[in-house]
Amino acid sequence: MSRQSTFRGPIAANKRRNDESQRDGDSEKGMWSTMLDSVASGKRLPEKNLIVLGGTPDTQKELLETLASDAPKRPHDRHKRKPVIANELALGYTYQDVLDADQEDILARLSIYFLSESSPAFAPLLKPLFTSQTIPETLLVVLLDWSEPWHWVRQIRDWVTMLRDITSSLGDVPTKSMEQTMKEWQQRKRKVSTYDSGGFSTGNEGNVTLPLSRGEWDEPLGLPLCVVCHGADKIDALEAEHGWKEEEFDFVLQFLRTILMKHGASLIYTSTSVPNSLPTLIHSTLGIRSQLKKQTLKHNVIDRDKVLVPPNWDSWGKIRVLREGFDVEGTSRGWSTDIQAVPSAAANGDKETSTSPEGAVLPTYESTILKPHAYSSSRLKNPGIEISTPTIQAFLTTQLELLEKLKAEEEAAAASSEGDSNISTFSNTTNKPHDERVNEHIGPVQVNMGGIQVDADDMLKKLRSRKEGAEIGSKTPEVNTEKASRSPDDMKAQNEALNSFFAGLMKRGASGSPRGTPGKRDASMDSSGTPSKKAAARD
């Protein structure tokens, strides 16, 4: 017995040591596996889903630009290829990476789906997106356009009825996930201290929550909803071109806030030209938060182009304050009736028939906010003043025709009224020399000669008269005005007398002694210098 015990002792000790080392190796392996799994889970990006309902491919792209407007630009993103936006077909898709404030870490990857038509035929495309895993990470966005606000309530009604049909056909597990999601959202009831500081309530700050107000969360959809009214820069055009006033803008805002309260939805007006809080609203609703920068939301119901109504903020009292006379209770009750009754024409895909007004409050909205062509003179203060203006080219064409017609009439009237005297006068005027016509047009010309203003026309006339006298053969100096006024016989006699006078002088100069010979006198003169008797007798 003792030999067996002494012999088996070392074997047992070795076996015991092997078992202990194996246990240590397993524990060490489990520790490393746990560490690697934790690191891998930390590196895994949170995935969020954003389903955009409505709009056109262009407005959807503008929504993406607005959503990425506050995203920081990293230097290496210049050479990085942007995600392709595939929204030309039925169900579109793209994605965005939400960066942290330090531009280094990616907080989440946002998968964005697009669906433009609310036809029930496209419902099977959205149904696979609603699973028990994706429902808590999904946000619905109804995209409206300010170019057609008279269709807004109808579009919201169509999308809500379509979503209710989809969620009602899901299984038990997705339905329970939706109920849990809506319960959490209702527990995120606003806290006055949180919203006063501008933050977004997470529901984790304290256990005290305010009760739901009347008309709030009456018709939950199972998913959070946000309504985006894009293109707020077109508000001025509605006021200038379609005659909208503050009453219309306030009515639209009150109506939207009342019906969206029943779904716990948020509302925001956006524009590509003006910065807005859409990225903050979307990220906060999806639970994307930065540890470096606190996201803030501040409500705004005063500026008509920068409206922001956060979720769980609105109430009937706040809606009544905007403008008196709005029936909040009736609108809330009527909206529940409208979304319960699904038009048979819309279910069959008949779009033309489904556009007719039906329901409790939809006709009220569409009769108040009319289409531009439906506005009549009865809505204007001065009936009959509104006219349709032609285009610029059409206006100029009519004016050109009118001018040509008036010109032809004036020419015909002038030709018939002119007489022979007018014709001769016109011909004499046109036949004048060019210089005379120019002088008549510009008037007399004054010339400064030695400080004396002289009329140039008078000088020209004198020069012409002198030239004419020289051509006649006159050797006389310039004839004054009195001599020019004498008769031709007097002028002829005067010229003959002057000629005989100068001829006698020439003869006397030829018969006398030459000039320059002093001391010699003319023979016909005596010593005293007077003519002699012989010369006098000879003469």
* Angular region, 243: left φ>0, alpha ψ -120 to 50, beta rest: left
Facing residues of 229 across strands?
144, 269
- Flag whether the pTM goes above 0.95: no
Q: What is the pLDDT of residue 226?
A: 96
| Lookup: tokens for 465 | 């008269």
- Distance (Å, whole) CA 267 – CA 278: 10
CA–CA separation, 241 and 512 (whole Å): 115
Query: Is 276 inside any structural domain?
Result: yes
In a domain, 537, yes or no: no
Instruction: Report H helices in 222-350.
Output: 235-241, 246-261, 278-285, 316-322, 328-340, 344-347
Provide the residue count of the chain: 539
Whether 508 is in a domain gets the answer: no
Residue 528 lies in a domain: no
CA distance 154 to 311: 22
If asked whether residues 284 and 179 sit together in one domain, one would say: yes
Same-domain check for residues 253 and 268: yes
In this structure, the answer to whether residues 56 and 142 fall within a common structural domain is yes
The segments of the chain whose pLDDT lies below 50 read: 1-10, 42, 190-206, 343-357, 375-384, 426, 476-484, 510, 513-525, 527-539
> Does 439 share its domain with 451?
no
Residue 75, domain member (yes or no): yes
In a domain, 520, yes or no: no
Amino acid at 243: G
- Characterize 229-264 residue by residue with b for buried, 16 or more Cβ atoms within 10 angstroms of its Cβ, and e for exposed: bbbbebbeebeeeeebeeebbbbbbbbbbbbbbbbb
Q: Are residues 109 and 214 in the same domain?
A: yes
319 plus 192 within the same structural domain: yes
Tally the domains of the chain.
3
Residue 485 counted as domain residue: yes
CB neighbours of residue 294 within 10 Å = 12
Asked whether residue 227 falls in the same domain as residue 96, the answer is yes
Asked if 323 and 143 count as a contact pair (C-beta separation under 8 A), the reply is no
Residue 498's contacts (CB-CB under 8 Å, 6 or more residues apart) are 475, 476
What is residue 472's predicted lDDT score, i.e. its pLDDT? 63
- Whichever domain contains 47, its CATH number is 3.40.50.300
Can you give the pLDDT at residue 497?
74
Q: Is residue 153 exposed (0-12), middle (13-18) or buried (19+ Cβ within 10 Å)?
A: buried
> Letter for the amino acid at 522?
D
Long-range contacts of residues 151-156, Cβ cutoff 8 Å, at least 24 apart: 152/229, 152/252, 152/256, 153/255, 153/256, 153/259, 153/361, 153/362, 153/365, 153/366, 154/355, 154/362, 154/366, 155/54, 155/118, 156/227, 156/259
Please spell the DSSP secondary structure of 210-225, one letter per residue: PPPPTTSSSS--SS-E
Give yes or no: residues 438 and 460 share one domain. no
Domain closes at, from 454, 472, 492: 492
Asked if the structure places residue 516 within a domain, the reply is: no
Instruction: Name the phi and psi angles at 244, rounded to 5.
Output: -70, 145
Residues 325 and 427 in one domain: no
* Euclidean distance between CA atoms 439 and 432, whole angstroms: 11
Task: Give yes or no: residues 269 and 297 share one domain.
Answer: yes
- Determine the pLDDT at residue 50: 95
- Please compute Rg for the chain using Cα positions: 55
Q: What is the pLDDT of residues 326-351, one digit of tens each?
A: 999 999 999 999 998 554 444 444 44
Residues 456 and 432 in one domain: no
Say if CB 322 and CB 250 are below 8 A apart: yes
Q: What's the pLDDT at 294?
A: 77
Residue 475 shares a structural domain with residue 423:
no
Range of the domain at 487: 445-492
